[in-house]
Chain A
Amino acid sequence: MVERKGALARILPHLVLLTGVAIVAFPVYLALIGATHESSVIANGQMPLTPGGAALDSYYRAIVIGPSRTTREPVGTMLLNSFTMAMLIAVGKIAISLLSAFAVVYFRFPFRKAAFWMIFITLMLPVEVRIYPTYKVAADLGLLDTMAGLTLPLIASATATLLFRQFFMTVPDELVEASKIDGAGPMKFFFDTLLPLSRTNMAALFVILFIYGWNQYLWPLLITTRDDMQTIVIGIKKMIVTSDAITEWQIVMATAVLAMLPPVLIVIVMQKLFVRGLVETEK
């Protein structure tokens, strides 16, 4: 910048940003600390800002045993359920979107436009606005308390199809012609040329969709009744008992940390892909 800056002007941005980071991180810091104290210390409202010595016990009990007083499933099972659900949703969404975008872009057939619009309009029907009728469909199909019921209704997505359609449009026509000359059929072109080219897009989308799947709340809440089908995000809610004398907050906080860890790690480790995915899905 053209102006010369004084000491204050140089330090101010850092001060503001450090304060911002501190405020953003504080709730998570408290959760980390909360998981290291005895429940009695927390229940008294006397929890200090420094870690205590009960961390191992909290995490061990959360993962392996589960909070005893509410006799719930151990968090280990919940983590596995969450992971399976998030993977199925992310991979399923990417797979069916790749196929349908391929059909819409590379073929001419009757009802092509209609099919595209049909997929496009689903953008306007989030689960939240059609919960009970969707629940009824899932129940009629016998999908309650199954992985299929948990994931299938969340798998169709206009966003991913639109994204791949947009990307396929930028793939040069010469590649199709070249592979036709080589005598390759459409599926060979799809697997040998298109998929390798889409790798980065798929990875960026995977990051966003995995987080989306992992963090689902309303749908799993309705569709699962059995404790062993619970995801961690649902499980943590059920650990909080209304009269707070019974809630074992150190276990709740250990569970919160475990529930945050996988998606947060993905964002931090794959930051570039994450930012790319976020920007692209909003186009």
Chain B
Amino acid sequence: MEKRATFSNRYLPYALLAPQILVTLIFFYWPAAQAIRQSFMLEDAFGLSSDFVWFENYVALFKDPSYYQTLWTTFVFSGSVAFLSLSVALLLAVMADAEIRGATAYRTFLIWPYAVAPAVAGVLWIFMLDPSLGMVARGLKSLGLDWNPRLNGTHALTQVVLASAWKQISYNFLFFLAGLQAIPRSVIEAAAIDGARAWRRFWTITLPLLSPTTFFLLVVNIVYAFFDTFGTIDTMTQGGPAKATETLVYKVYSDGRLGGDLGGSAAQSVILMIIVIGLTAVQFRFVERRVTY
């Protein structure tokens, strides 16, 4: 896709590109290159000199059981966030799509959590789930559950999942609703005439036709859980207790901040970059497919 009518000017296009290219070079490419370089270096204890050590940092990382624990936590965390927020959003979108009055009003009431900062979402949920003052925590305790996210890793992970999924419902709801409204009524009506009940229609027609949207949202939700939940985790649990809520991004942050392991932190960054590249590629393949359909 190219324009036929263009302007010709020798220097102007470079001047127009300059601001963006400059910011990109200084704050994207240079740091990314530094991360890659650092991941192959080992600093001495005083940070005075550093040696090129090939893949030592990576080998150390993959020998470290705590890295696998973080990997597993990230996997469980993003899977739960995606599953929870996608299923709630789908249920609500199907209901809103069911030709009821006030669908736009419901939409207004459901989309605003998108605008709440992840860190603020964490604060709101802490206020509900804190074992000593939270209202919901009190409810859980009165039901006989020994709710204590400060000591119990599963409880801590649960509360971070809840806060993160809560924020993502609105996004998923919007896209599911748009996807549902794009399904031709005639297809569903034809099935209804053939005698398929609502439940069967949903499983055999609506859900398969919605699968491109679902797949797209799945990728978006995983990217969200990986990278955009830092604020939620930092306000709620700081990765604890005993690293039970430490995701890959949080580990890069905490390993580098304690100052010690710059090479290891850089190696983790590089692995994260590879994950982003993979996820972006999947996302774009999907978008291309959708365009050609």
Contacts and interface: CB of A to CB of B under 8 A. Distances in A.
B143 to A, nearest CB: 16
B138 A45 contact: yes
B35 A266 contact: no
Contacts of A279: 174-175, 178
List of 6 A-B pairs having minimum Cβ-Cβ separation, nearest first: A133-B31, A217-B231, A215-B117, A263-B115, A103-B16, A133-B34
Contact of B27 (A49, A104, A153, A180): A153
A125 B32 contact: yes
Given A45-B132, A264-B112, A96 B118 contact: no
A268 B120 CA distance: 18
B13 A278 contact: no
A266 B175 CA distance: 19
A7 interface: no
Interface residues of A, number: 105
A283 interface: yes
B109 to A, nearest CB: 5
A156 interface: yes
Interface stretch (A50-58, A70-78, A107-115, A197-205): A107-115
A182 interface: no
B26 interface: yes
Interface in B26-40: 26-32, 34-35, 38
B6 interface: yes
Contact of B28 (A16, A99, A122): A122
A128 to B, nearest CB: 5
Interface in A80-105: 95-97, 99-100, 102-105
Given A100-B20, A107-B8, A130-B35, A249 B273 contact: no
A9 B227 CA distance: 40
Given A34-B127, A106-B6, A100 B17 contact: yes
Interface residues of B, number: 99
B7 A132 contact: no
A133 B13 CA distance: 30
Identify whether the interface residues of B are mostly helix, strand, loop, or mixed: helix
A134 B133 contact: no
Contact of A16 (B35, B91, B220): B91
B3 A106 contact: yes
Interface in A1-60: 1-3, 9-10, 12-14, 16-17, 20-21, 24-28, 30-31, 34, 42-45, 47, 49
A67 B216 CA distance: 43
Interface string B24-57: 1011111110110010000000000000000000
Contact of A129 (B91, B109, B234, B273): B273
Given A17-B96, A133-B35, A137-B30, A99 B6 contact: no
A150 interface: no
Contact of A134 (B5, B31, B287): B31
Identify whether the interface residues of A are mostly helix, strand, loop, or mixed: helix
Given A12-B95, A153-B27, 17 more contacts: A2-B193, A13-B95, A24-B110, A43-B133, A100-B17, A109-B13, A128-B227, A129-B273, A141-B26, A152-B27, A156-B27, A169-B3, A177-B5, A237-B235, A264-B112, A268-B112, A271-B108
Nearest to A43: B133
Of B27, B108, B188, B262, which is in contact with the most chain A CB atoms at under 10 Å from its CB? B27
Contacts of A134: 27, 31
A241 interface: no
B68 interface: no
A105 B127 contact: no
A155 B136 CA distance: 40
A263 B273 CA distance: 30
Contacts of A107: 6-9, 12-13, 16
Interface in A171-216: 173-174, 176-177, 180, 185-187, 189, 211, 214-215
Contact of A99 (B9, B16, B26, B102): B16
Contact of B31 (A136, A186, A187, A253): A136
B198 to A, nearest CB: 8
A161 interface: yes
B100 interface: yes
